[in-house]
Amino acid sequence: MTTHTYPASVDVAIVGSGPTGAAYARILSERAPSLTIAMFEVGPTVSDPVGAHVKNIADPEARRGAQVASQGPGAAAATVAGPGDVGAGDRKARPGTYLLDDGFRMPGEDGLPAAAFSSNVGGMGAHWTGACPRPGGGERIDFLPDLEELLDEADRLLGVTTDAFDGAPFTALVRERLAAAVDDGREPAARVQRMPLAVHRRDDGRLVWSASDVVLGEITRANPNFALFDETLVTRVLLDGGRAAGVEVRERRTAQAHTVGARVVVVAADGLRTPQVLFASGIRPAALGRMLNDQSQVVFAARLRDAAAQEKSAAGDGALSEQSGVSWVPYTDAEPFHGQIMQLDASPVPLADDDPAAPGSIVGLGLFTAKELQWDDRVDFSDDETDGYGMPAMRIHYTLTDADRATLDRARARIVELAEAIGEPLGDRPFTMPLGSSLHYQGATRMGTSDDGRSVCSPDSEVWAAPGVFVAGNNVIPTATACNPTLTAVALAVRGARRIARDLAG
């Protein structure tokens, strides 16, 4: 499946190997298997199977090696190392990611100081928490009548389950206490519940986390018309008469440039690098990079009240402790934040040392808040300066509004209430993560219903200004969300892939 013999041309070129790029390859392999597909990834292959989640790597040293290999130009930089490190004040990325080293904050603005990337086969999907909640209320894209069916399909591709932690001894207790503090007055769908997760349990009981390997599936891996090219930078999309005509790539091992023709190009490079590729290609509609929005994040921890030690101890060697599971407090328009409450070592951020008397009884709480959309919140690109890959350098313009700050204040108060409902809060106050920490950058190639200058792509994700060029990723989502966006982004990719299958294969 992985090769470096570049074809002269293919039917579909996919830029990026994360979950949304993989979704395009999967749907096309299922619906139009005669189409030739080339997928290009700037980073290396770090797992077996290709594109797998690094948490599935049992050996700790091999796992750390995969994370470092994913850190691209930031491979030598320090990453978050352990409990308490997140509050140290240094700019540190999570393992497997690297920070935007310059241009993350403009004078007088808030910026995104924790803006980060992953460069590896599988993209950020090889390092994510696997949370796949559905959007609710104002998070939903109201002009897509088929959204629910698309989300169902995204569940299938990602292997989403809700029962992986049902055997955890504290999970019912956590959910019961959260429900008592949250559920009153909420519709059933917005009440405390199990977090939908892209994870399944093997016959031997071990958890397996989904990433691009699961999305690709055996049908894509077995497709003789599909090829994956790792360590290959796509420098620009080629156009002919304004339409997609292929991609120009540079093999990073040799620095040799190649041209690959394509009838359709899908740019799924991530929330910030997808608009970067369009900019480098001369595709620069007014909305490119605009309406950028991230989810501010508040974290806290609590020790479960009256939690007795269990026979099952915390798992070692990087495997997850399965004591309190993962619970979900859904977003509502009245409370515009989304909650992930999870056993400590499933949290993306180390919060505190565990309690040796009752392993797993310290629970991490996180609330993500929705951002007020602003036209001037954006990522710009330079015609003169370049980044570590030689692509146009980024400059982030980003400012919290008074409404955003008020929502954050509400989230800080609410997370304390939730911690007190669960048990004994740890520390005096919750910690507000540096902006960009969520890694959920949205809106920079946003979807719209018409080519009115306020969106980059159509409801099928085709770029208005460049027919045959499609965009994918969280960056396509046009609404302000608080919930994890991956499920929605994959759902939108399904819609785009179906459109390509219809157009190219009939």
Q: For residue range 155-169, what is the model confidence (pLDDT) as tens digits?
A: 999 999 999 988 888
Rounded to whole angstroms, how far apart are CA atoms 294 and 271? 10
Per-residue CA distances from 344 to 37, 139, 354 (Å): 41, 28, 8
Q: Cα separation of 28 and 24, whole Å?
A: 6
Answer yes or no: do 335 and 389 share one domain. no
CA–CA separation, 220 vs 66, rounded Å? 23
Domain boundary among 434, 449, 480: 434
Number of domains in the chain: 2
**Which one is catalytic: 53, 338, 397, 440?**
440
Inside any domain, residue 4? no
> Does the reported pTM lie above 0.85?
yes
- Between helices 147-158 and 19-31, what is the axis angle to 10°? 100
Of 20, 65, 69, which is closest to residue 44 (Cα–Cα)? Answer: 69
Shared-domain flag, residues 222 and 78: yes
Q: Is the pLDDT of residue 505 over 80?
A: yes
- pLDDT of 345 reads 54
Clarify whether 440 is annotated catalytic. Answer: yes
Find, among 365, 445, 376, 374, the residue nearest to 404 by Cα. 374
Pull the structure tokens for residue 323: 């004591």
Residues 205 and 221 in one domain: yes
| 282 shares a domain with 324 | no
In the DSSP assignment, the letter for residue 32 is -
Please state the φ and ψ torsions of residue 312, each to the nearest 5 degrees: -85, 120
| 107 CB burial (10 A radius; 0-12, 13-18, 19+) | exposed
The answer to whether residue 423 is domain-embedded is: yes
Mean pLDDT score of the chain = 92
Question: What would the pLDDT profile of 378-388 be if each residue is shown by its tens digit?
Answer: 999 999 999 99
CATH of the domain at 35: 3.50.50.60
Helices 171-182 + 402-422 axis angle, to 10: 130
Distance in angstroms (rounded) separating the CA atoms of residues 109 and 302 = 33
270 and 391 in one domain?
yes
Please state, as a whole number, how many other Cβ atoms lie within 10 Å of the Cβ of residue 479: 20
188 part of a folded domain: yes
Domain end position, chosen among 413, 434, 455: 434
Domain co-membership, 345 together with 233 = no
- Of the chain, the percentage scoring pLDDT greater than 70 comes to 91
Q: Residue 349 belongs to what domain range?
A: 163-195+297-369+401-434
List helix spans (H) across 318-462: 402-422
Segment 128-134 shows an average pLDDT of 96
Mean pLDDT across 107-111: 97
Which one, of 213, 245, 226, 267, lies nearest residue 493 by Cα?
267
Distance CA 284, CA 408 (A): 33
Element at 210 (helix H, strand E): none
